[in-house]
Each structure stands twice: as C-alpha cells, then as structure tokens.
Structure 1
Amino acid sequence: MIGSYAAELVCPTCAASNGTTAPAVRAASITSAVWLWASPEAATALATRDLPTILRTYRRINGLNQIALAELLGYDSSYVSMIETGKRAITDVTSRRHIAARIGLPAHVLGVTGIDDAEYRAMLQFGDSTVRLAEIARQSGHAVEAVNELWPLVARLEARAAEGHMERDSLILLAQARTALGVSLGTVLPEERLWAAARWTGQAVTVAAHLGEPVFHAHTLRMHGNELRKSGQPGAAVARLEQSLELSADPADRGGSLAFLCRAAGELGDADTFDNALSAYRNLLDRHLGSGLLFQPFTLREIEIRGLMGTGRIGQASRRVSEPAGTPAAPQWHTIERVTTGEVLAAIGEIDTAATAFAEAVQSAELHHLPHQIQRAIRATGKSGMRESTVECFAALERLQSQLSQRR
C-alpha cells in the first residue's frame, strides 16, 4: 500500500530490494529560498498570519528595500508601502496566492485554501502522528509497514520542497519523516542497498542543521551516523556520532549516541574510541534508568560483544557471551544479538552451539523482514566453514526477498 501521494506505484522497500530500481521519490535538495522561512525570526512572523508583518520580515531577512520587493511582486513600490503600513488590505484570493508564490510560501499561510492546500494542511496536522506510529511499528518488528506508512507523507513533502513552498513546521516534519523513513529502510533493506537509507537520513541532517534546534539536530546526526555505519562507512559514522554526542544533553540521547559510536568504532577496529565510548555508556547507564531501544543493559551487552570482536579481543567477547542476555527492547535486537553470539561461538570453535544461535537468528530475521541480518549470518557461517548453516541462511534470504518483491 503506497498511498495517493507517491510519485510512482513502487514502494521503496521493494524497489531497493530488487536491486535494479531506484526509490520512486528522491530527496529534494532544498532551495535556498526555503531556508528563509526556517529561521526563528521568520517563524515568528508567519505565526502572526499578518501579511504586512510577513512582508516586512521577508525584506529585512533578505536585505531588500520596498522597491526591490515591489519588483519581485510585480507591484508599484507605493502599493507595497501601503500594504506594509496597513493602508491597503489584500483580501482577494488571487492576489494572496500570487504573493505567496513569489515569496516562497504555501498559500495556506496567507489564509488561502484550495483543495490542494486543504489536503496539505490536513497532512501537516496528522504528519507528526504518522511518523510516531511508523516508529512504533518499526520498533515492534514491522519495519515494512512503517515504510509504507511514511512513503506517502514523504512523497508529498518532497514535492512541496521541490516547489520551494515550505515554512518551518513543514521543514521540521520533512526532516522527521526523512529520518524515520531512512531508519525504517535501514532495517529492511539488504546490505548492498543500505546506501539508500543513509541517503535519506543524510538529507534529514541537512534540514535539521538549518533549524537551529540542537536536540533535533543531534537526533538526525545519531540516526544518520548509524546508517552510514551499516552502509560500510564506519569512519564517516564516527564523525557524525561524535557530533551528535556533543549536542546531546539528555541521558537517553547521549546513551543512544554512545551506543552507535561503540558500534562504529568497533567496526573501524578503533579500540581506544570503542573503549572510551563503552566506558561512558556503562557509567551513564549506572547513573540513569535505561530507556528506549539503545540505552539499556541488553543493548550494552550486545554492543560490547561485537566491539570486542571487531577490535580483536575474542577471549573477552566469549566470556561476555556466557553471561545472561536479558530481555531485548524490540524483536530486531533479539535477531542482532543471536547473530553476534553465533559469530563469537563460531570463532572459538563451538560450532554446534553457534549453529543453534544462527538458526534462531535467521528464523527471527525472516519473520521480521531483516535481510541484512541474514547476510551477516551468511558471512559468519561461510567464514567458519559451517556449510549446512550457510545453505539454510541463503534459502531464508531467497524466501524473504521473494516476500518483499510480492509486496510491489
């Protein structure tokens, strides 16, 4: 189910999974005119819905005089002066639409509502709920459904962005939707297509950087850093995650940034960065009650095991594997932990136990549509000479890819 706003009847999960077709909606490079309305000063002016205030603010931010604004609008400068001073009220729909188009605003900001504008306003009102519900779906193991919920919203917002008609609230929603879509795609896409997920989260960072809200900027950097890591760019991931950590103050947010930083540093083989981030994560968790998917004991254990493996400390990783795992916060984390455990057990020669862990991981990955976790298992079993397990993994991956292709 793609929705009425998608540019083509192809969902991004299917398109990216089949290995041939690019996602149907491309993230727009926001035009410079749009950033004007993202500033706090502009947002304050727009909140008044007062045309004279909006025009004066537009001139001030752009360094224009009334003559230059009049040329932009196609009016006489004396006419613009009367509008700004309130001596001439613009009430007709045609003129307000014209002004909105010339200064890069959605028409509804100036009180003009056609069918398209009314639909767009309704979408904005419910857009935040759409993103939140999609996140709940992803975290509960239904990432494909999350993508299908987000795709129509993103398609409509991208179309507006391409037109250059976006105000601050729309830009915030665009960044939220881009982030959520990227993370959801990063859950369900195969490894060779994870660049698509990183691309969406990267576009969200671009928007968030202009909004001047450190908490939100840190969130987008955190998610983008993790998608960069998953797409095979751990060095770039470390840089983004360190930025996120600098901007994060809330314990859960810092814990999330540290968790991903541990992952990226481990995959980079950077033992010092990994150890420092892990120590900070553990100390933070000791002082604050864990919450969410990333900031909790189960996640700490899995991240530590994988990082120890990545930095060549197999003995320490095996001792950690023998400790109780606890309860994961989401189904995908059970899958991730089982693959990691299988890798360690295979590395220390406990092949039968490793085979059981991989079988559990693959069963869970197939159930929750996690192809890149199956691909992790394929690499690990192949490296360890576990031929029977590798064959089972390939069979599961083929079944999952077939299921995803049938959703088109």
Structure 2
Amino acid sequence: MSRRGLWTDIRLRAAWARQDWGAILREYRRVAGLSQRQLEPMVGMPQPHISAIESGRRQVTSADVRSRITEGLRVPPELTGMTPQPPATEWEPPLELRERIAHGHSTGRTDTRTAEWISEVLARHRRAEDEVGGRELWPIVRSQLDAVTLLIPSASGAVADQLLLLAAEHAHWLSWVSAQEGKRGAALAWIDMAHGWAVDGGHADMASWVHRIRARYSLQGGDPVRALRTAETARGTAGISPAAASVATHQAAVAAAAVGERDRAQRLADEAHNLALQVPDEEDRPGWLYWLTPTRAALDVASTAYACREWQAAASGFREALPGLAGYPRDQAYYQQKMDDALRRIG
C-alpha cells in the first residue's frame, strides 16, 4: 500500500482530526508496520524523541516539528488544507458551505483525483462506523466536506454534478450522526442540504434517499402520518433504482404499520423485498446502499412484521436472517433484541 493509501485507515484519520500527535505517530506505524527507528528518517527526529511524543512525555508545539511530521507522513490535502474543525458539540452546518455551492457549475477545471480519493475514504467511513462510532469520525467527514465544496466552484458539467453528489453523501452522513447524538435540528439542517445538492446535481437516488431519512426522523419523533407521507414522496421520485425504491418502500411499510394500516404495510414490505432482490450485488447499488444485501432485505421484512405486531412472523424472520450479520456487532445486537422481544410477546 502506498503511503497515501495508509490514510484511509479510520483510526489514523481520527487521530489526525484530534490533532493528537502521539496517536498520529503510533497509528501510522501500526498501519505501515514500522518501528520507531524506521520512522526516524521520515519525520526527521531520532527514535527517543518519537518515543517521547508517542508516550505523551513530550508535546508537539513547534510548527517546524508539525510540518516535518505532516510532510514526512504525507498527510493528504483534504486533511492538511482545512482549518481545524469545531468540536463535535457544534453540530449545525455553517453558512459558507451553501455559499460555495452557489458558485458551482462555472467554467474551469478541478482536481478529480482528490474527489475520487475522498469518495473512497467516505466509503470506508461508512463501513467502519459500526466499530468506531460516528462522533469520533465527525471532524474527519466535516473536513472532507469542506474539501469537496471547495472543489465545486472550479468545476463544470458532469464533474460538478458528481461533486454535488459527493457533497450530498457527506451531508447525509453528518445528518445521520447528528440524529444518533440526539441533535434533531442539526440532523434536519444537514439532510436539507443533502437533498438540495442531490437535486441540483440531478441525482434521483440520493434525492429519494434523503426523503427516506426524513421519514425515518419523523417516525422516530412520533409523527407517523408525516413519516408515511414523506416515505411515499421518496418512493415516487422519478428515475430511481430498484435499490433506492426498496429502502423507500420499506420505510413506507413501517410508517403504514405505525398508523394502523397493516395490510398496506405487509404489501409494501413484500414489494420492498422483491425490489431488493433485483440488485443482490453491491456494484449494482448506490454506494451508500452497500448494506442492502439479501440478508438486510429479509430483516426489513421481519422489521415490518414486528411493526405490525405479527410477533411469530417477526421472530422467525429475525432468527433466519441474524446469522448473516456476522461482522456487524451493533446491528446484530439491535436485531437480536427485536427477536427476543417478539418471542416474549408470543408468550
């Protein structure tokens, strides 16, 4: 792996986001498989100094030392070029992001290699969130979103449209983490930005997906009527793929169950399942729907049965699908709890 490629590692990027120089050195060595002695020529420091920084006995306060570490470890530009991110307690999207997007689609050239790199790293963030947690990744993704929006004013045509999609993907992720942290207002603000950027870029799947997320937020907030209406809007988005239609239809099914329309919910659940089975291979789905495997589709059917209070069907569905969640401990625990609850209700 190239030195630049090492920086896709989540723990290394998280250390950089904290500006924890000891952790940066330790995590870099872990990923690269280097000893402190091997790191010496890269950062221009003797091994005892490296050891002191890693152990916390020596603080990095010199701009020269920071520069040597940054250059020696080849920290990628989307991390080095950004101003320090605010702490995770400042959740709302800043105004300048909208200002940058407003000047997009101008005539010019942009660095598509940086955009491709950021897209690759975001994909790794999605998969690692189950292990690392969103709060720790928050400043990294915010930094990457800054890098994407700074590229848009110099882009045009299809390149600008792809950058808008990448920006929307980042904003959606930030909304999701905000919601998990109980920051409902910030979650809605980020998802609104994601939807606007998706529409501006002509990306139907993402536009549908963010409506689906809003429907989920409404359901979690105790408003199933609004959730159902919003989920139906997601389903009705023109030109969406079977994968996007599947998740929107599943959300509508759960919302229908919440308003007492059980027959409708079950019909929608079957439709969502059939749509998901049309795209069992990951490469045929949008990147943010990497998780929509046949196992997940089966779990969605069980979840709808649970929402409809069909306890036996729910328990059986969860039991059959749970083994397919190996490697996703948080999700496995969530669905296990649902299955256990359904079994208790059967009596």
TM-score, normalising length: structure 2: 0.58
Deviations 1:364-387 (A, max 9, x none): xxxxxxxxxxxxxxxxxxxxxxxx
Structure 1 segment 235-250 matched on structure 2, within 5 A: 235-246=225-236, 247-250=238-241
Which has the higher Rg, Structure 1 or Structure 2?
Answer: 1
Q: What code does the residue aligned with 1:138 have?
A: R
Match of 1:155 in 2: 146
SS in 2 for 1:327: helix
| Structure 2 residue aligned with 1:136 | 124
* 1:304 matched to 2:305: no
Q: Which amino acid counterpart does residue 334 of structure 1 have in structure 2?
A: Q
Question: How far apart, in 2, do the equivalents of 1:172 and 1:279 lie?
Answer: 33
Q: What 5-or-longer segments of structure 1 have no aligned partner?
A: 16-21, 47-108, 112-120, 350-408
Alignment of 1:282-361 (within 5 A): 282-289=273-280, 291=282, 293-323=290-320, 325-328=322-325, 331=328, 332-349=330-347
Alpha-carbon RMSD across the aligned residues, in angstroms, is: 4.0
Query: CA offsets, 1:4-24, max 9 Å, x none?
Result: 566664343xx2xxxxxx326
- Structure 1 pair 24/289, CA: closer, same or farther in 2 (3 Å)? closer
Distance 1:321 1:158, change over 3 A: closer
Residue 189 of structure 2 aligns with which residue? 199
2-structure distance, mates of 1:209, 1:202? 11
Classify the secondary structure of the residue corresponding to 2:266: helix
1:259 is the counterpart of 2:257: no
Q: 2: distance between equivalents of 1:178 and 1:221? A: 13
Q: Cα deviation per residue 1:123-145 (whole Å; 9 max; x = unaligned)?
A: x6413431332232222424536
- In structure 2, the partner of 1:10 is 86
C-alpha deviation, 1:146, in angstroms: 4.5
**Preserved contact between residue 195 and residue 206 of structure 2 (Cα < 8 Å):** no
Distance in 2, Cα, partners of 1:308 & 1:203: 33
Q: Deviations over 1:249-297 (max 9, x none)?
A: 4333322333333344444544244222211123334555364555333
Q: Per the alignment, do residues 241 and 282 of structure 1 end up closer, same or farther by CA in structure 2, a change over 3 Å counting?
A: same
Residue 26, structure 1, aligned to residue 94, structure 2: yes
Q: Go from structure 1 to structure 2 and tell me whether the alpha carbon gap of 1:215 and 1:320 turns closer, same or farther (over 3 Å shift).
A: closer
Q: Distance in 1 between the 2:281 and 2:326 partners?
A: 11
**Residue range with higher mean Cα deviation, 185-194 or 203-212:** 185-194
How has the CA–CA distance of structure 1 residues 182 and 211 changed in structure 2, closer, same or farther, with 3 Å as cutoff? closer
* CA gap 1:328/1:190 in 2 versus in 1, 3 angstroms: same
Gaps of 5+ in 2: 1-15, 18-78, 283-288
Aligned residues of 2:175 and 2:188 also touching (Cα < 8 A): no
TM-superposed deviation, 1:205: 0.6
- What is the match of residue 173 of structure 1? 163
Q: How does 1:119-134 map to 2 (within 5 A)?
A: 121-122=110-111, 125-134=113-122
Alignment length (residue pairs): 259
Is the 1:175–1:205 contact (alpha carbons within 8 Å) kept by the matching residues of 2?
A: no
What secondary structure does 2:309 align onto? coil
Distance 1:266 1:329 in 2: 29
Contact 1:127 1:173 in 2 (8 A): yes
2:73 aligns with none
The residue aligned with 1:384 is none
Instruction: Check conservation: 1:191, 1:230, Cα contact below 8 A.
Output: no
Task: Tell me how far 1:209 sits from its aligned partner.
Answer: 1.9
For each residue in 1:321-354, what CA deviation from the matched residue of structure 2 results, as whole angstroms up to 9, or x when unmatched? 45453312861432331232233234345xxxxx
Paired amino acid for 1:34: A
Partner of residue 182, structure 1: 172
Query: Alpha-carbon deviations, 1:82-121, whole Å to 9, x = none?
Result: xxxxxxxxxxxxxxxxxxxxxxxxxxx3x8xxxxxxxxx5
Instruction: Name the TM-score, length of structure 1 as normaliser.
Output: 0.51
